[in-house]
Structure 1
Amino acid sequence: MNDDVFNMELRKFLKQVGVTSQRAIEQAVQKALADGKLTGTEVLQAKVVLTLEPLGAIHEVTDSIALE
């Protein structure tokens, strides 16, 4: 394994995850606000599940996102 290549590929993947996840959360919150499903004062519970299927590895991150 080439550690430099692996590190660069991992960073690229995590950047894509971060950017696309932020966009998805922002769009979901904006739609829920527009639809009246949120007032804008909520604290949302969020969970991300990372799966490396060939390795049988699962990593979960759970946290809250305050809107105000």
Structure 2
Amino acid sequence: MDEDALNMSIRKFLKQVGVTSQRAIETVVREGKVSGDRLHVRMTLTAEGTDLNHVVDGEIRLS
């Protein structure tokens, strides 16, 4: 296994996740689909063919 290639591939994937997730969150907020001043969020990471199930819960303050 090439550690450098693995690291770069993971970083590329996470960058894509971050950018597309931010756009999706901004869209629901701008469209007025969020009530209150906080948005509770959850990201679940799975990988086909593995038992990976990593969940990250968070909160985004809107004001």
Whether TM exceeds 0.5 here: the answer is yes
* Aligned residue in 2 for 1:11: 11
Distance 2:29 2:46 in 1: 25
Counterpart of 2:40 in structure 1 is 45
Q: Hey, what's the Cα distance between the residues in 1 that align with 2:26 and 2:45?
A: 20
- How many residues of Structure 1 are paired with residues of Structure 2 in the alignment? 63
Residue 53 of structure 1 aligns to a residue whose secondary structure is coil
Q: Distance in 1 between matches of 2:7 and 2:59?
A: 29
**Superposed, which structure 2 residues align to 1:13-28 within 5 Å?**
13-28=13-28
The structure with the largest helix share of the pair is 1
Over the matched positions of the two proteins, sequence identity in percent amounts to 46
Q: Could you tell me the TM-score, scaled by structure 1's length? A: 0.84
Structure label with greater radius of gyration:
1
- TM-score if structure 2 supplies the norm length? 0.90
Deviations along 1:10-64, whole A, 9 cap, x unmatched? Answer: 000000000000000001110126xxx53xx521110000001211111000011
Moved over 4 A (4+): none
RMSD, aligned CA: 1.4
| Counterpart-to-counterpart distance in 1, 2:57 and 2:32 | 21
